[in-house]
Structure 1
Amino acid sequence: MTRGSRVAAVAVLGILVSGCGSASEPSPPTGVDQLVIPSPSLDPADFVASIDNQWLPLALGSEWKYRATSGGELARITVTVLDETREVQGVAATVVLSEVVNQRGRVVDQTREWFAQDVDGNVWRVGEDGVWEAGVGGAEAGLAMPARPRVGDGYRQEYAEGVAEDRTEVLGLDGSASVPYGDLTGLLETEDSSPLEPGVVELRSYARGIGLVRVAKDDEGDELALVAFVSAAG
């Protein structure tokens, strides 16, 4: 997965896994409500229509705007929850569009990712258009955000062998960040990594009722920072 460009799920760039591949190992039991992560199958009866997780709210029509800095280059990223769904293993998943515009005003990337919330409030990442889909080619749904994150929780965000293997560990629940959107406190902080990119670590910060507000690479200083947020939640 391309690091730093995905917001709650911004871009994964690659080719959908072909063939069955090997089954993934579940995440270790770290207190994430005894969930099997990643999940080889989804039961539609376990999911609800809307996503209102306090750390990753994806209400229809909500929009986030970010400033991205990488290697001295600037870009703008807009993330929008679309008025459409994608059926994945019988679950009607919410579609989130991420659009990257470079400093010359050109759209250089567009991605659609699919998310679904279970009855307990956990948000699952179930695929990305043209890259991977849970239940296809050995790919499995991962956990995008627990309902109740706890320090020390660890889980896989997704699993498509050789394509999407991101993992997350919860570092804290009382972080702070200063971004163009404002000075924020009481943030959920996570460390994200992938065996596909050894040595690359992202530090992510989430605000209640908003979602992702900042991403930084601890070894390069690359940053994604929230500029504006419009909630469509009722």
Structure 2
Amino acid sequence: MSKKFETQAINDEILDKLSLKNRYNFLNNNLMQVLTPDQFNFLKSVQRFCMRFEKKNDITHGPDEDIYDWVPAFGKKGYITRQHNFDFIDVDYKEWGLAYDFMRNLAIDLFDPQFAMGGGATVLAINPVYEHHDGVPVRQEALKDMITGQSPGAILITEPERGSDAVHMLTTCDEQDDGSFLLNGTKIYNTNAPKSEWVVAYATAEKNNGKTMAQFLINTNWEGFDVDRVNIPWVPKLY
């Protein structure tokens, strides 16, 4: 094994036994009795992709790798989410639903936990747009971009002075004469936001009044959206 970091705390013999293939074998031995053949085959297909992707790209899961570079490849294979088949945006997955999405996530989490966490944040942005797209073209465009890995997604709830309290937010939304909304406020710790083209922001018509809360799909290229990265030491590869 190539030593790319300053200090190696575990010897090569043990590291070899902690390979992605061996970790997957351990998982599969515990799951094969409780999964249907179709579910188990889907799990193994995601695992095979992860192992080949790791080998092809010489991934070491070290601190200098940009996990967001991997998103398009996983999106192209349909491994961002399998909660729905998404047939209305010309994706139409054959294996979908809670069990398949859980298998997808298990395989990716063992591949790289921080990458899986970033994918989870994208799914949190996908869910409200899926439930409320209403056939609106821009919403379907955002869905397809996030589902197919063209862009990560982010959900903007947490605020510096309110935490993740979606009921007592300070970010406001004011309806304009033309029917659009003007949002004002500050969010923080919104996983993927600096890397995302699409985000879903929570805001209220009145500060601290959760009964007036609404969700807004935002293209981060729009005027007035400003974002900086907040470094979190225990997830150094996430933005």
TM-score under structure 1 length normalisation: 0.29
- Greater share of helix: 2
Question: Which of these two proteins has the greater Rg computed from alpha carbons?
Answer: 2
More RCO (CA 8 Å, sep 6+)? 1
- Greater share of strand: 1
TM-score under structure 2 length normalisation: 0.29
